[in-house]
Structure 1
């Protein structure tokens, strides 16, 4: 009777939220308490797979470290696909809704704003709840993000500008189609500017709101997911698990960019026949189509995350074999307060390795963010490639090298187990190599593309284009025999329109082509519809080669950087520290960087898609000046990050990445414990 009462007393003590150190119980009683904690208090339900009707004994064999790595990596792949798809279609969105690059940069940081506001708080309070289910909730917000973004097309349609460039437009209203074509010509009797469709602020606000929603899911997934992986695996396995999950996640941008390239090859209204080719800068692809595919894939990922247990069976067995010190060191959820959180913040600010490593990452992200978001746009403007080709090169080709870099680094870390100093040194070397590669970008220019910045933008006072009535007419470029592109036939001084035997539109009587060898009054002064052909393919291939090399080298530092971040803090601070780091990175890097580089790109715009009084998207840039300004600015920030990584190298001399006592025997014991747990799992939940 006395023994039974003592057991009941111990079980009751486990229901208390916290046991002070002076009242610590004996080792034997502590072991009994630990068993009750997982087997008596919750009956081991924290290690059960599934939820609702999606559960059963057959699922219990899936509650393994390997299965979580695969699931986490694939879910991260889907999330990365959504952000890559947005970056790949951003130039199409700018053209469709007349959005300046600076504004599109602000839109793209919406997810980082919400990540900044929620990451630390969610990491602190949700870090000790059912983390996989919280990650599933985050993925449901990603589903909403995909559906909200695609719904713009169904609300606003393809747009009048896109419909005017289809064959069906002329068949429906030939008179209106003729008027539209005549707007490109010089009309001495007309007065005033021709009003174009105004840029709409509602779609811009809609896109920004969708990005805000996605940031909550991003914060939950990355903050909780990495901590869950590290807590449920032995330290010797963590590098390989991180590398494998990172590799799977990095397939996301590859697939996302490929999906974008496929969708952008279709016209924005696939049922209509366009009159222009994909190489024409006015081409608008079916940007909205991929979001429907991504919404379905994200929903499936959310359901799979919901099925994972709160704690892996193998992790529970390891925890029971160790002393139950974590229970005393970490406050339970119902005793957590804002003051405790601020005390943890103060502790982290005194951790020099954590601070320097975080700041080095922030500077690297600030500089490299320009390429993550604007690389397709950079390729389109610098090397005159189509949107589909730009997204394919950025995603499928370049990111494949990123995935290879992650796998190679993960294998090297797992096999050779380098010290913390070696890892920090490698991070610094990667930063300096990246700076050298970016300086190569400056030298990889295309003369034909740079020559387009001499495009004639004559003022209204010039007799040649005075009948255009304003500086900014509808952008409809034409090419002269001297391979000079003009904004429109009107700016080339053309007064007539005809068609040749191939069906191409030819503008004649073009008085502004004074650079040709023929006299201005000659009838042969003509211009062909569309921009002049520019051959930048060789330069484009060189750029892609350098980009692939930088992707390979840069990806090799992802695992080393994350391992230093995970090991430089106590286990009980891990989830919150990751959330705090995400918040600070969003505040200082992810949010201001796209806005800054968007503003920088807009500063070198030559031709704005304007109405008489409103600015829309940019159609043509001063490519040479833009190339220098963009790349040198990015290199400067990454260089500063490299110097901070040297500071990390100095302070991590005593940091231990791997446990010395872990051996092959421990790994076999973990496997044996895991198999016993699966065999002893209850048949029903």
Structure 2
């Protein structure tokens, strides 16, 4: 294909980087797609799952800058292969809690093979019914062990990501010409997006199977108590990571074409690179140079605020869809990972085409990043308005208070087992509806009777209304879900359209010898200020609007129902505020990027290179 055509001939380095990046994205999107199932299985509050998810960012913070500086001078493909091997260990550790602790008692009770008379037989005492005496509180097994194991797995993954991100991107850029960089970056980003798409799709498929595929469940996967085979995909991902690490290990330290270009470089550039030594003092000098680089600093601040506001959508979007629009975990995951990411891919490809064809200036790219922020804020504000009245009605119910009709039923430790009354209201359990008996029809469906809370609002028909059927009442939020999906696809498209421009600004605003270190340092800063606190903060917000906890003797467990209306307003308005603040820093990037060179045609005169050499030499002598 001729030079300047689109799509370009993607260099081997870009193909390798994109493919491996896709596998990494596949793993982390799979975790996001199964996070609600993990919360149910191990009774984890959302703030705890948010803490688990930042384990990789903590280790990235501790290792990224040093690995980017020191390993960047070594055999980068082999270091990247090591990172993939570490990610394989991460995937295996993520699956290990299932093999250690099994499917769990709550899941087993909802299968035909584990039906027992004490739980399902209508003639026996049912712990979900209104009891005249306080039931024994059985201390549940400690859930901290699987939580720690999941956190350790995430922590280990951050080391692999540090090696991969800081070295892979610089390896790809160094082994291609600058004229091909915009198109190459956009196409590689497109290929990388296939990873999250496959990751969410894999999660959707795995969650359709019951947590123990050999057993026959009594409920459908539309039931909120359904636990899918969350562990299955991690086994597949482990195998993929190991195979990828092997092939990447075979790559040379430098591709022949890149070596030829390097040998033709001018003498000044050669001397500049020769002045770089592997020492802590040189690294500190690199930090000083980057701190004085206003484009680098402002771009990082803008990214920090954007990521802080948008991180909850990356991690908790499937959970948001489940709670707000009452969709199954499989449906929520599939919508997030296929339809929405298709628009992200379109945005990346279109932006790559525009940048390759028209070669906009650095200022134009920075201006577009600011416009992307404004569009994102407007879209998130639309999320506030896209609510579902039926869902708000269902999830606004709180557990009974001491002076309510269930005060004598002792429902404190009754697990979430929803029932639907004739008034089309979903109750947390038969106990919370005040039901004292139940009947089973020929199809095995349960009908609860004597539900004193249901008839309390209609004294004339109290005896006729005091019954309920097993399962939650049907809620139709599909129309609102489609509207939300449309807005989300628009935001994915717009956000992805600025990805190539932002990456080019990050690569071109620093010198070649600082490139790997700048990426590593930027990743550290963003992790400390955004990726670590943001999931914890928004996880805490999610928990603060919980109205039904899966309470046990030892802890509150996981949340089953949320105050969806209040939650929708709080999360979206707070996220929009952070992103809006970040848009102002893009103005600073736009102002200071006027002299930034993006393409080969803009190479500075040789005397400017010599001036840069003299300044670097003088700086070194002073230190």
Q: In which range does the TM-score fall when normalised by the shorter chain?
A: over 0.9
Q: Which moved more, 1:513-522 or 1:412-421?
A: 513-522
2:328 equivalent to 1:389:
no
2:237 corresponds, among 281, 294, 303, to: 294
2:540 equivalent to 1:604:
no
Provide the C-alpha distance between the structure 2 equivalents of 1:636 and 1:307, rounded to a whole number of angstroms. 47
1:32 counterpart residue number: none
2:192 corresponds, among 249, 255, 271, to: 249
Quote how far apart the aligned CAs of 1:329 are.
1.7
2:77 equivalent to 1:132:
yes
CA 1:527–1:332 in structure 2 vs 1: closer, same or farther (change >3 Å)? farther
2:466 counterpart residue number: 525
Structure 1 residues not aligned, in runs of 5+: 1-63, 663-685
1:67 counterpart residue number: 12
Structure 1 residues 447-469: Cα deviation after superposition (integer angstroms, max 9, x where no partner): 0001113425213443x313432
The answer to whether the 8 A contact 2:456-2:462 is kept is no
1:618 counterpart residue number: 559
TM-score (norm 1): 0.84
1:166 counterpart residue number: 111
Aligned with 2:16: secondary structure?
helix
The answer to whether the 8 A contact 1:196-1:474 is kept is no
CA 1:212–1:304 in structure 2 vs 1: closer, same or farther (change >3 Å)? same
Q: How does 1:207-222 map to 2 (within 5 A)?
A: 207-222=150-165
1:323 counterpart residue number: 266
Provide the C-alpha distance between the structure 1 equivalents of 2:15 and 2:381, rounded to a whole number of angstroms. 38
1:111 counterpart residue number: 56
Structure 1 residues 191-226: Cα deviation after superposition (integer angstroms, max 9, x where no partner): 345436355101000000000110111111111111
Provide the C-alpha distance between the structure 2 equivalents of 1:454 and 1:624, rounded to a whole number of angstroms. 8
Q: How does 1:253-652 map to 2 (within 5 A)?
A: 253-330=196-273, 335-455=277-397, 457-462=399-404, 464-514=405-455, 517=458, 519=460, 521-522=462-463, 524-612=465-553, 614-652=555-593
Provide the C-alpha distance between the structure 2 equivalents of 1:649 and 1:525, rounded to a whole number of angstroms. 67
Q: Which moved more, 1:73-82 or 1:499-508?
A: 499-508
Quote how far apart the aligned CAs of 1:321 are.
1.7
Provide the C-alpha distance between the structure 1 equivalents of 2:460 and 2:410, rounded to a whole number of angstroms. 25
Quote how far apart the aligned CAs of 1:67 are.
1.9
Root mean square deviation, CA, Å: 1.8
The answer to whether the 8 A contact 1:509-1:521 is kept is no
Provide the C-alpha distance between the structure 2 equivalents of 1:546 and 1:364, rounded to a whole number of angstroms. 18
CA 1:383–1:193 in structure 2 vs 1: closer, same or farther (change >3 Å)? farther
Quote how far apart the aligned CAs of 1:81 are.
0.3
Q: How does 1:662-681 map to 2 (within 5 A)?
A: none
1:143 counterpart residue number: 88
Provide the C-alpha distance between the structure 1 equivalents of 2:36 and 2:398, rounded to a whole number of angstroms. 24
* Count of residues in correspondence between the two structures: 594
Quote how far apart the aligned CAs of 1:70 are.
1.5
Provide the C-alpha distance between the structure 2 equivalents of 1:661 and 1:380, rounded to a whole number of angstroms. 50
Provide the C-alpha distance between the structure 1 equivalents of 2:346 and 2:34, rounded to a whole number of angstroms. 25
The answer to whether the 8 A contact 1:193-1:612 is kept is no
Aligned with 1:498: secondary structure?
strand
Aligned with 2:73: secondary structure?
coil
Quote how far apart the aligned CAs of 1:484 are.
1.1
Structure 2 residues not aligned, in runs of 5+: 1-8, 604-623
Structure 1 residues 424-481: Cα deviation after superposition (integer angstroms, max 9, x where no partner): 000000000000000000000000001113425213443x313432434211111111
2:130 counterpart residue number: 186
2:24 equivalent to 1:79:
yes
Q: Which moved more, 1:464-473 or 1:420-429?
A: 464-473
The answer to whether the 8 A contact 1:511-1:520 is kept is no
Structure 1 residues 601-645: Cα deviation after superposition (integer angstroms, max 9, x where no partner): 111000111114521100000000000000001001100111111
Quote how far apart the aligned CAs of 1:514 are.
3.0
Quote how far apart the aligned CAs of 1:153 are.
0.4
Provide the C-alpha distance between the structure 2 equivalents of 1:107 and 1:511, rounded to a whole number of angstroms. 42
The answer to whether the 8 A contact 1:508-1:523 is kept is no
Q: How does 1:36-55 map to 2 (within 5 A)?
A: none
TM-score (norm 2): 0.92
CA 1:483–1:524 in structure 2 vs 1: closer, same or farther (change >3 Å)? closer
Provide the C-alpha distance between the structure 2 equivalents of 1:655 and 1:524, rounded to a whole number of angstroms. 73
Quote how far apart the aligned CAs of 1:72 are.
1.2
CA 1:65–1:437 in structure 2 vs 1: closer, same or farther (change >3 Å)? closer
The answer to whether the 8 A contact 2:415-2:429 is kept is yes
The answer to whether the 8 A contact 1:460-1:470 is kept is no
Provide the C-alpha distance between the structure 2 equivalents of 1:456 and 1:317, rounded to a whole number of angstroms. 70
Provide the C-alpha distance between the structure 1 equivalents of 2:602 and 2:43, rounded to a whole number of angstroms. 61
1:679 counterpart residue number: none
Provide the C-alpha distance between the structure 1 equivalents of 2:465 and 2:367, rounded to a whole number of angstroms. 66
1:675 counterpart residue number: none
Structure 1 residues 132-162: Cα deviation after superposition (integer angstroms, max 9, x where no partner): 1100000000000000110110000000000
Aligned with 1:576: secondary structure?
helix
Aligned with 1:468: secondary structure?
coil
